[in-house]
Structure 1
Amino acid sequence: MKIHTCETHINRALDEFVAKEETFPSMEPITEGEKLSTTCDYCEALPVYLVTNT
């Protein structure tokens, strides 16, 4: 599971990840290349973090 999230929605992304995966995620900063082609999964803002288990 991967969630791209902005600063505003980081808590929602972490809560959703733990509820679905039942494990703690890693939170990685988004690279400049990903910022150009991706938006937050909850709004249209540019993402700041990738919440993932990989």
Structure 2
Amino acid sequence: MQASVTVLDQTGQCVTRGGNDAYGLFTAAGPPRDYQLAVIRDGFEPRRAPYRCFPT
């Protein structure tokens, strides 16, 4: 099952998008800041959640 994942910045603009891998993981690189993750999968309710990316 593949989900569509979209990463949005604080203004709602798309930073990146893609799908999960065979293990259900999604990876993206970006600068440290607050984002929104939006996940959509057929048969499930769409979900949006805040995400804070910290510097490494």
Choose between structure 1 and 2 for higher RCO, CA contacts under 8 A separated by at least 6 residues.
1
Output the TM-score relative to the length of structure 1: 0.26
Higher-Rg structure is 2
Output the TM-score relative to the length of structure 2: 0.26
Larger helix proportion of the pair: 1
